[in-house]
Chain A
């Protein structure tokens, strides 16, 4: 057993014909935390949706040694937990506790077990006092924590976070970084927040036009990104 995630030559094209991924190679080792950097529309989110079969493209994707196909998808949904960017779309149940228990009940867990695990997950993220509240009354930071609880409760092996710090104020970002860094899972973090990536990730890859164009430590990749931005900007000078 080598890498947790192993992706080779992944290509994906949306129904409207736009190519979103154009040959992505990627690896994630056990306990690793990798930042996916890159401009909007470069394919980062599309890429992570392939890890639990929400999208399927050409190429090979193996997660925890399993190929992605209809038979393995239920297992993969358990192994790969995705915290989406928009918490409002993620927290759809009427109360916080029901939302956190949603995934557990889908796993076929009985009610008492699901409830106690949901409560424990809420405690992990420091939101146990909001259990009976409606998600839309929470602040952006609180919603994000509850969303993370809903994923962590399912005990995935890989945690994918899509722009977790977007729409949070600086103190909220700091405490979220703290929380995420203490979670034991291997992590893939899609982000524009360089400081956040530096605090959390050992390694970064840079997406551009559906391929990975740079790889290294966060600092290395960021210096490359700055270079690209300067080059990009110079094109617009008269």
Chain B
């Protein structure tokens, strides 16, 4: 599963990895709207922002080519709509859809591949995101592998049983068999959650998670947040001012 790669990347050690998650989120929340609302000289602005992001990936000692490829996950959706837009006669917008969605995905990827997800969630918690939602997300992420592994086992087992068993039970169509497998997976996941809860109680859980290690927002984090917000804005301004002929 590919979030494994992301996790390895996020464990790295670079100045970018060491920044407080809040600083990175703040910069991202400036970068994304700056990109999303860019209109004039988009090609140049986008080019500039691509350079910035690429530079950041190199600074973080992450494999740039693989990061670029990974962000392409967003393209199937974007390209479908780009084609529809193109067909409707708006080629400029078609290109802008693809470029903006790709660069936005790359920017998000930069943040999550330099911040382990639990740390990122902790950072979001300190900015006021409801703790309960983040806890749910944390458990979700923790058990992706576990439940995913169970699902894989089940679909393999179903494949191994194959068509012969299916013929025996004339009423059980492949559709029903899949539904049955999913119901079993649901029940197992539910039981898993009960076991987790039991293990929590056994270690004295009283209804609230006590969180470990408080993040420290240093001066360097503030400086980083400021710079990382201003530079993309500056790039955009420069491109739009300097290239008046580009529409």
List A residues at the B interface (Cβ < 8 Å).
Answer: 49, 52, 54, 74, 77-78, 81-82, 84, 86, 88-90, 92-95, 97-98, 101-103, 105-107, 111, 114-115, 132, 134-136, 150-151, 154
Query: Known contacts being A101-B212, A136-B146, is A106 close to B196, with CB within 8 Å?
Result: no
Q: Which residues of B contact A78 (CB under 8 A)?
A: 204
Q: Which residues of A contact B196 (CB under 8 A)?
A: 89-90, 92
Q: Which residues of B contact A86 (CB under 8 A)?
A: 195
Pick the 9 closest A-B CB pairs, nearest first: A94-B118, A103-B203, A105-B210, A106-B204, A89-B195, A90-B199, A77-B204, A136-B145, A82-B202
Q: Which residues of B contact A94 (CB under 8 A)?
A: 116-118, 138, 141-142
Contact pick for B202, options A54, A88, A111, A134, CB 8 Å: A54
Is the pair B7, A134 in contact by a Cβ cutoff of 8 Å?
A: yes
Q: Which residue of A lies closest to B200 (CB)?
A: A92
**B171 located at the interface, meaning its Cβ lies under 8 Å from any Cβ of chain A in the complex:** no
| Main secondary structure on A side of the interface with B | helix
What's the nearest-Cβ distance from chain A to residue B133, in Å? 16
In the complex, besides A81-B202, A105-B212, 13 extra interface pairs with C-beta distance below 8 angstroms are: A52-B202, A54-B198, A54-B201, A77-B202, A77-B203, A92-B139, A93-B142, A95-B118, A102-B203, A106-B203, A134-B142, A135-B142, A136-B145
Task: Name the interface residues of B139-170: CB closer than 8 Å to any CB of A.
Answer: 139, 141-143, 145-146
Q: Which residues of A contact B202 (CB under 8 A)?
A: 52, 54, 77, 81-82, 84
Q: Which residues of A contact B142 (CB under 8 A)?
A: 92-94, 134-136
**B206 located at the interface, meaning its Cβ lies under 8 Å from any Cβ of chain A in the complex:** yes
